[in-house]
């Protein structure tokens, strides 16, 4: 069974994953308004991934006899000046998530909760991918800044991203 403290913190992360989905949907909406449908698609896929992350926390808390408590989801930012600003915010957000996951791992280790630690290791690996995939887009956008017409190509490429459900059971 989860300790009260760990259950609280896992619930808080469940909420943060839902907030992450919400912020990426807000980014998708802003990108649509900027006439960047491919980038909007990329963000919508990102939002879908976040929902699967939230679901993993939901399942794990239940499997460990904890109680899932859903709290209000914070209102996300709605306006950005440029496409690159949207992705820069996404990158900073992912760095924040990585920090939160690391804190959860520290807590699980402190409590010698090996199952929670193992569960969280999936997220440790996932965060490397999460940060890297946004950084790749930022680098492309920086290059496009110096090459007229390149933005059209990048947007078309971002439009190719499709949602792939994570492998493994819901909480593993």
Q: Pick the binder of ligand FEO from 9, 113, 130, 155 (CB under 6 A).
A: 130
CB 155 within 8 A of CB 38: yes
Asked if residue 20 binds ligand FEO (CB under 6 A), the reply is: yes
Angle, alpha carbons 30-93-38 (nearest 5°): 35
CB 26 within 8 A of CB 80: no
Q: Which is nearer to ligand FEO, 50 or 155 (CB)?
A: 50
Q: What does the block give as tokens for 116?
A: 């929670």
Asked if residue 104 binds ligand FEO (CB under 6 A), the reply is: no
CA distance 79 to 22: 14
Terminal alpha carbon distance of the chain: 17
Asked if residue 94 binds ligand FEO (CB under 6 A), the reply is: yes
Determine the size of the site formed for ligand FEO (CB under 6 A): 7
Minimum distance of ligand FEO from residue 133's CB (angstroms): 9
Q: Which is nearer to ligand FEO, 15 or 20 (CB)?
A: 20
Q: Which is nearer to ligand FEO, 1 or 169 (CB)?
A: 169
CB 28 within 8 A of CB 44: yes
Asked if residue 134 binds ligand FEO (CB under 6 A), the reply is: no
Binding site for ligand FEO (CB under 6 A): 17, 20, 50, 53, 94, 97, 130
């Amino acid at each position: 069974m989860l300790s009260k403290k760990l259950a609280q913190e896992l619930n808080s992360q469940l909420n943060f994953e839902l907030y992450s989905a919400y912020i990426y949907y807000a980014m998708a909406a802003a990108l649509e308004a900027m006439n960047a449908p491919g980038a909007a698609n990329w963000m919508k896929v990102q939002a879908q991934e976040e929902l699967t992350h939230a679901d993993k926390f939901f399942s794990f808390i239940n499997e460990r006899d904890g109680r899932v408590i859903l709290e209000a989801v914070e209102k996300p930012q709605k306006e950005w000046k440029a496409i690159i600003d949207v992705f820069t915010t996404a990158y900073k957000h992912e760095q924040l998530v990585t920090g939160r996951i690391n804190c959860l791992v520290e807590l699980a280790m402190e409590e010698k909760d090996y199952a929670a630690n193992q569960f969280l290791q999936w997220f440790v690996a996932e965060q490397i991918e999460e940060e890297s995939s946004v950084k790749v887009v930022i680098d492309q956008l920086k290059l496009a800044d110096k090459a007229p017409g390149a933005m059209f190509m990048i947007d078309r490429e971002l439009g190719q991203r499709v949602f792939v459900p994570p492998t493994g059971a819901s909480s593993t």
